[in-house]
Structure 1
Amino acid sequence: MKKGVMILTGVGQIGMAIARRMGYGKKIVVGDLNPESTEAVCRILNEAGFDAVPVEMNLSSRESILNLIAVARKHGEISM
């Protein structure tokens, strides 16, 4: 069964706090330009019991954004 999906763009502290507050029970797709930071945030979220996956993404690139959305849709319906 697919879960609701939350897309998180940017791996800063505010985004992580929002993901922790609102992402429980959802697949969290984390997109950021820096793959090391994205993987680190996903590791932190996963260790805290969330279900997060990293995606390298550049907000200034339409193609990159569409790729992030495509990855998120593979996991379920995007709900936030």
Structure 2
Amino acid sequence: MDVVVVVGAGLIGQAIARRVGPGKKIILADLRQAHADAAVETFLNAGFDAEAATVDVASRASVHALAERAAASGDVRALIHAAGVSPSQAPVEAILTVDLYGRRSCWRSSAL
């Protein structure tokens, strides 16, 4: 089965997943399990094949664990990185950790 991994289960990630996800397994991952679970419930109610996961994009080990899980679910066809924080949400250090360094962790994961 083809798999789409969405990192960041907010509205932007969900919108993209709705567009590219029909007929595929969607793994919606977020730092907060409750956010991922809520997004998955919405997708399941809309007829998608979806499951929730947690991931901390600032942690290479966490990203690798997500990559391993996705690879075990099928052929990973897309990685949608929609996680991020803004200046109204966090200090500069946190923004760099998530928005810049976190993206590097996702792209460098060997399993994806």
Do both share a fold (TM > 0.5)? yes
Q: State the TM-score, normalized to the length of structure 1.
A: 0.94
Rg bigger for which structure?
2
Name the amino acid aligned to 1:48.
Answer: A
For the aligned residue pairs, the C-alpha RMSD in angstroms reads: 0.6
In structure 1, C-alpha distance between the alignment counterparts of 2:17 and 2:40, rounded to whole Å: 10
In structure 2, C-alpha distance between the alignment counterparts of 1:34 and 1:21, rounded to whole Å: 23
Consecutive unaligned residues of structure 1, counting only runs of 5 or more, are none
Q: Aligned residues: percent identity?
A: 37
Q: Secondary structure at the match of 2:75?
A: coil
Q: Greater RCO between the two (CA within 8 Å, min separation 6)?
A: 1
Name the amino acid aligned to 2:8.
Answer: G
In structure 2, C-alpha distance between the alignment counterparts of 1:67 and 1:7, rounded to whole Å: 13
Report the counterpart of residue 31 of structure 2 in structure 1. Answer: 33
Q: Secondary structure at the match of 2:76?
A: coil
Deviations 1:2-41 (A, max 9, x none): x100000001111101111110011111111100010000
Of 19, 43, 46 in structure 2, the residue corresponding to residue 45 of structure 1 is 43
Consecutive unaligned residues of structure 2, counting only runs of 5 or more, are 79-112
Runs ≥4 residues deviating over 4 A = none
Q: Secondary structure at the match of 1:60?
A: coil
Report the counterpart of residue 54 of structure 2 in structure 1. Answer: 56
May I ask how many residue pairs the two structures share in their alignment?
A: 78
Contact 2:30–2:54 (Cα < 8 Å) also in 1: yes
1:1-80 matches, within 5 Å, as 3-80=1-78
Q: State the TM-score, normalized to the length of structure 2.
A: 0.68
Q: Secondary structure at the match of 1:79?
A: strand
